[in-house]
Amino acid sequence: MLSNIRIVLINTFHPGNVGAIARAMKNMGLTNLYLVDPNDYPSEEATSRAAGAVDLLENATIVPTLEQAIADCSLVIGTSARHRTFQLPIMNARECAQSVIPEAADHNVAIVFGRETTGLLNEEIAQCHRQVYIDANDEYPVLNISQAVQIVAYEIWMANQNKEFNQKEIPEYPHKKDMDLFYEHLEKTLYGINFIVRSHPGKVLDKLHRFFNRSRPEKQELGILRGVLAAVQREAGLTEANNHPEKKAKDALKDSLKEE
């Protein structure tokens, strides 16, 4: 279960923090570390700070983009010390852990931490389903990134000891890459029927992304939505018989109905 939980670090600046985070993770049974475009890594400083958790550094997955780090995850949680303009559901660290444990029984889950100085960018938070914050003293709520990971990892460890959370049944959710294909299909359809004008797109697509990220459609529901988009395209004369996106949507709908 804990092996399905990955800690994702974006564009880390101080290699020592990566080592300290590896140590914090191993303390709490987490072993899956993803590094997105890290600076000055690998590093002797990271190895030194990791102490007995060097194996996590050796097995860390390094990718150039956040999209690649979370593509096969069904739940993505972004950490932030401040409330954003996005209306994502917000949890504290304990609530985060209690939602992660049942999901991680059968699915990959990512908890994403931003840069040491600026945190996550708005477009990175927009790729998440939920946002987590850590309660701290209002006069000085700033935590080092390794401290933040340690707190979240501790809450995950504690939640994993509680049968109430680790035996909870969770629906089948699509991976992030499947949602991205849906967004691509949605965008093509809305442009095709002139619901969105290319010269003045506005923020409709951004708002729809946030809506679906908040609501988290199940895998079966996503198949139905893809089928609806395919039908709209067909009725609007936007697709040919062998059009690839429509075929994918039909296949997704058939697969979802078979799972009932």
Please report whether residue 67 resides in a domain. Answer: yes
Please report whether residue 57 resides in a domain. Answer: yes
pLDDT of residue 250: 54
pLDDT of residue 241: 40
pLDDT above 70 coverage of the chain, percent: 89
Structurally, how many domains does the chain consist of? 2
29 and 145 share one domain: yes
The answer to whether residue 43 scores a pLDDT higher than 60 is yes
Burial class from Cβ neighbours inside 10 Å (0-12, 13-18, 19+) for residue 217 reads middle
**What is d(CA 127, CA 177) in angstroms, rounded to the nearest whole number?**
11
Nearest to 148 by CA among 167, 164, 131, 135: 135
DSSP one-letter string for 184-219: HHHHHHHHHTTSSBTTB-TTHHHHHHHHHHHH---H
Residue 254: both structure tokens together = 């058939």
The answer to whether residue 253 scores a pLDDT higher than 80 is no
84 and 144 share one domain: yes
Please report whether residue 231 resides in a domain. Answer: yes
Please report whether residue 70 resides in a domain. Answer: yes
Please report whether residue 15 resides in a domain. Answer: yes
Number of Cβ atoms within 10 Å of the Cβ of 215: 10
pLDDT (tens digit, 9 = 90+) per residue, 106-152? 999 999 999 999 999 999 999 999 999 998 898 998 899 999 999 99
> Which domain does 243 fall in, by range?
176-258
Residue 5: both structure tokens together = 């939980």
Find the CATH number of the domain harbouring 62: 3.40.1280.10
Please report whether residue 171 resides in a domain. Answer: no
**What is d(CA 26, CA 140) in angstroms, rounded to the nearest whole number?**
28
